[in-house]
Structures are given as structure tokens and as C-alpha cells.
Amino acid sequence: MLKQLLPDMHAHSIYEIDLDELKERGVKGIITDLDNTLIEWDRPGATPELIKWFEKVEEKGFKLVIVSNNNKKRVSLFADPLNIPFVFSARKPFNKAFKRAQQMMELKPTEVVVIGDQLFTDVLGGNRLKLYTILVVPVASSDGIFTRFNRRMERMALSFMRKRGMITWED
């Protein structure tokens, strides 16, 4: 079970992810979480820096789908102005939303990366489908009420994995 929580890569933010390196790995599509991965959970729209990142992703030829456990209103208010496809009420880490996003991009599992800020939703969900997973540090230090429990469990899991030498990064 612990291996299912282990991301393939860790980055302090999406901006640290080397898109050229992903291209070299054969990645053609990105499934990304929204809240605390791309923007703060309580920020309604994209920052100028994030818009530039989306442009860079598009320039490099990647397809992108947002997969969020949040509701349609929240996700569409963010994604629609940017013309980014999305899956809402995803129920991550269950497979259905990840598979749907992969089908929307018309890509094979080996061509897709999952980027998210939570082990028990994003990383576990991606790993269950054998997708390449990247864990990023949450962009906000606060969380919505439903995420707080997951964060406590996540800290325990990370501590356990760190003690066993499974991870080497610091938060």
C-alpha cells in the first residue's frame, strides 16, 4: 500500500517541473488537480503567472485536463475562461475521473502525467492506473475543511516513508 502513495517525482511547485524532461519521457498529456496545486483553494481565478504556465504547456504541445474533487461551479468558474477541459466531483482516488481525463486527451497511460498536492487523492489515484505522478507542495498553507484530515494522514505517511528512506525531499 505504501508504494501506491509514493510519487514518481516531487516538486515545490508546478513551475519547477521541467516540461522538456516530460516530453523526453514521452508524456503528451497532463492531468492536474486544481485547488492548492494550481492555485489556492479559495482563489477563484488564475494568476498571471499561472496563465503563462498554461501557455507554455500549450506551446510545448501538451494536452491538459483539470481533475478536481470540487463541484462543477468552482471548477468551471476557473477553467471555462481559460478554455481548459475539466472533470469535476472526481471522487479521487477512484479510477473513473482519471480514466475519463485520459480518454478526453485520447492518450495511453504511458503518455500521461498526474500533478497534484495530495498523496491520498492525486498520487494514489494516478499510481493505481500506473500513470506517472508528481507531488507538488500545496500553494497555500491553509486548506478547506475536507482536506485537513487528509493532510494529517499525509504527514504521518510522509514521515513513515522518510524514516524508511523511501523519500529524500523535504517539504
Tens of pLDDT, residue by residue over 73-95, are 999 999 999 999 999 999 999 99
Conformational region of residue 152, where left means phi above 0, alpha means psi within -120 to 50, and beta covers everything else = alpha
Mean pLDDT of 21-32: 98
Q: Which domains does the chain have, with CATH numbers?
A: 2-163 (3.40.50.1000)
pLDDT for 163 equals: 83
Whole-number Å distance between alpha carbons of 120 and 124: 5
pLDDT score at 166: 79
pLDDT tens sequence across 47-62 = 999 999 999 999 999 9
How many angstroms separate the Cα of 10 from the Cα of each of 17, 70, 133, 135, 162? 9, 23, 9, 5, 13
Q: Is the pLDDT of residue 147 over 80?
A: no
- pLDDT the model gives residue 156: 79
What pLDDT, on the 0 to 100 scale, is given for residue 115? 98
Residue matched to cell numbers 472526481: 90
* Helices marked H in 42-91: 48-59, 72-79
Q: Residue 156: what residue type?
A: M
